[in-house]
Amino acid sequence: MKKPNYVHSLMSDAFAIWLTKLGYVARMTTDGIVFVHHVSNKNFPRDVMILSNGRLNKPATQLFEEFKGYKPFEGIV
């Protein structure tokens, strides 16, 4: 079993805000949060999900890695 990598809760909140700024619309479901975009291509994958247990699906993981590349909290501390 793979060991989970935990992130700070502010990082998770910032990721959700970043997705909405990109144009994704958040929808709450019983499984978690689904982010839907009206455009579907390589840069804007469809069905980005944050599951209720905190896990990310494959498109969400790819976008989260891109988000971490911008170093959102580097200058703050």
Count Cβ atoms below 10 Å from residue 73 Cβ, excluding itself: 11
Mean pLDDT of 43-64: 93
- Of 57, 32, 30, residue with least CA distance to 46: 57
- Domain ranges across the chain: 9-69
Greatest Cα-to-Cα distance within the chain, rounded to the nearest angstrom: 37
Percentage helix, strand, coil for the chain under 3-state DSSP, each rounded to 5: 30, 20, 50
Confidence of residue 2 (pLDDT cuts 50, 70, 90): confident
Give pLDDT tens digits for 40-50. 888 899 889 99
pTM of the model: 0.87
Using the 8-state DSSP alphabet, how is residue 56 labeled?
B
pLDDT for the residue numbered 36: 94
> Radius of gyration of the chain from Cα atoms?
13
Give pLDDT tens digits for 6-50. 888 899 999 999 999 999 999 999 999 999 999 988 889 988 999
72 SS3 class: coil
